[in-house]
């Protein structure tokens, strides 16, 4: 007797199956093994704060505004970022030492997590992009899309509130000689 093929029924709309390929402990261990990582913590993407004023700080406080494809106005605005965040169940918030290669580390972690089965993994770094001396902005095509990632603040994420919500340390930089706190975020699943 011939066996009938298996029929795979798609999940009902609105019901997501969590991709728990890596445990929270494994994710934190992966991050903490990277150079420059002080602390790593799993957080709910719902606790990541987005706000319109954050992009204004980029526009009126950062000399990199509009100069590369990973900076506003070329990045998702806060409302779009909120929609992206709402599509995830877990995120990895990472505290770095000053001078660390935050974006490179976040991209490497994103790739490692992706290759372990969390196909939705996406990283966000801190600060402007330094991959090219001159961005390919006029052409609109990034020369390094596999390595370029926007910063959290470029996407309207209030890093201070997000870090405080996670119970982690961050201070406002009050003088030029003060070392800032650097954070990255990897959305997992």
pLDDT of res. 3: 47
Which of these, 15, 159, 34, 146, lies nearest to 93 by C-alpha position?
159
Q: Scan for tokens 């934190």, then name that residue.
A: 28
Q: What is the pTM of this model?
A: 0.87
Q: Dump pLDDT digits (tens) for 138-186.
A: 777 899 999 999 999 999 999 999 999 999 999 998 888 888 899 999 9
**C-alpha gyration radius of the chain:** 18
Count of beta carbons in the 10 Å neighbourhood of residue 68: 22
DSSP H or E run through 107: helix 102-115
Which of these, 10, 30, 7, 13, lies nearest to 118 by C-alpha position?
30
Please name every residue paired with 25 in a beta bridge, in sequence order, or none if there are none.
none
């Amino acid at each position: 007797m011939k066996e009938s093929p298996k029929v795979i029924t798609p999940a009902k709309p609105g019901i997501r199956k969590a991709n728990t390929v890596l445990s929270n402990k494994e994710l934190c261990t992966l991050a903490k093994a990277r150079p420059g990582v002080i602390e790593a913590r799993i957080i709910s993407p719902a606790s990541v704060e987005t706000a319109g004023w954050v992009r204004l700080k980029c526009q009126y406080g950062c000399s990199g505004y509009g100069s590369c494809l990973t900076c506003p106005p070329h990045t998702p605005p806060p409302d779009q970022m909120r929609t992206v965040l709402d599509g995830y169940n877990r995120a990895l918030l990472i505290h770095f030492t000053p001078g660390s290669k935050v974006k490179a580390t976040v991209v490497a972690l994103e790739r490692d997590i992706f290759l372990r089965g969390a196909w939705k993994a996406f990283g966000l770094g801190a600060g402007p992009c330094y991959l090219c001396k001159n961005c390919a902005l006029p052409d609109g095509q990034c020369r390094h899309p596999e390595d370029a990632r926007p910063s959290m603040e470029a996407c309207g994420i209030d890093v201070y509130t997000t870090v405080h919500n996670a119970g982690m340390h961050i201070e406002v930089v009050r003088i030029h000689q003060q070392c800032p706190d650097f954070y990255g975020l990897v959305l997992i699943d």
